[in-house]
Chains A and B, each alone.
Chain A
Amino acid sequence: MNRELIKKYHAGTITREELGELQRLLTESEAFRREFLLYSQVEVTLAGQVLFHNDMDEAIQTPPTEGMVKEPKPVKIPVYLQKIVFAE
């Protein structure tokens, strides 16, 4: 049930009453805060890999034009960090 609340919050289907319950659990239980963060981490990982592969599929299906990167590879350093730190 508690995990369902996290899932509903993430899916945007949570009601006001359920949000109240979710916040109560978050402020009262350290274990629940950890569970909430763990859920987000798995979601972030799956989202990153699914979205990355959707991009890959699109890149594979679209014929490469001159100057296009033909084989995109996963980037270890986040793009926004590269822009900020490594921008000249």
Chain B
Amino acid sequence: MVWRRGVLFDLSAEIMEVKKRFTALFIACEPAVRSFVQGVVRSVGATEEIMQETAVVLWEKYADATDPDTFRKLLFATAKYKILSWQRDQSRERLLFTDDAISMLADEAMKTQEAAAERQRLLDDAVSGLTVEERQLLWQSFTSSENVKTQALRQGKTPMALYKKLQKIRKKVLDTLEEKREKDS
């Protein structure tokens, strides 16, 4: 508590308000930034690290970036520099993007930030409606470089059975997305 112009102010309430505004701004941009970072670095661990370092920088510079537009620009620029710094630490042998490609992706992610946030909400709902097994299957088919036949053999299924199962899961996700979108509009 401090006295300001003869009035007793509760500083902790003021600080909490600042923290709330910062968090709201960061969370609104998070899906777009995270997709951008994960898209380039391809590692959940590295993405977490970059997101954390980016958040620290943003928090330190927040006093100069309280306006949503300035905040967004600073956030994507910081994430981009953190990615470039991460890339410099990687082995020269690794296949990495050029600075130009990263900059263009950062600009695109910033431009589509609102749509990404909305999409994230719908995606979270749709995927959380799946069973654990369905999520695992979808995750494997989405990320694995193996074809359906190889995946099916590894799982002890026939390729047709796995194919049909995946089609059913995809339809379930799509139906949920459509339903949510219709409800919202």
Q: Which residues of A contact B (CB under 8 A)?
A: 7-16, 19, 23, 26-27, 30, 33-34, 36-47, 49-51, 53, 57, 76-78, 80-81, 84-86
* B81: Cβ under 8 A from any A Cβ: no
Q: Which of B66-74, B84-92, B142-150, B154-162 contacts A (4 or more CB under 8 A)?
A: B142-150
Q: Is the CB of B127 within 8 A of A37?
A: no
What are 25 residue pairs bridging A and B, where the CB atoms are less than 8 Å apart in the complex? A14-B95, A16-B95, A26-B104, A34-B112, A37-B35, A37-B36, A37-B112, A38-B35, A41-B119, A41-B123, A42-B142, A43-B143, A44-B35, A45-B120, A46-B139, A46-B142, A49-B128, A50-B136, A53-B132, A77-B23, A84-B52, A84-B55, A85-B19, A85-B23, A86-B19
Cross-chain contact A45 with B36 (CB below 8 angstroms)? no
* B23 adjacent to A9 (CB under 8 Å): no
Residues of B within 8 A of A (CB): 19, 22-23, 26-27, 30-32, 34-36, 38-39, 42, 44, 47-48, 51-52, 55-56, 59, 95, 97-98, 100-101, 104-105, 108-109, 112, 116, 119-120, 123-124, 127-128, 132, 135-136, 138-139, 142-145
Instruction: Let me know if A40 and B136 touch, CB within 8 A.
Output: no
B51 touches A80 (CB 8 A): yes
Cα distance A16–B96 in the bound complex, in angstroms: 9
Given contacts A26-B105, A81-B55, contact A40 B135 (CB under 8 A): no
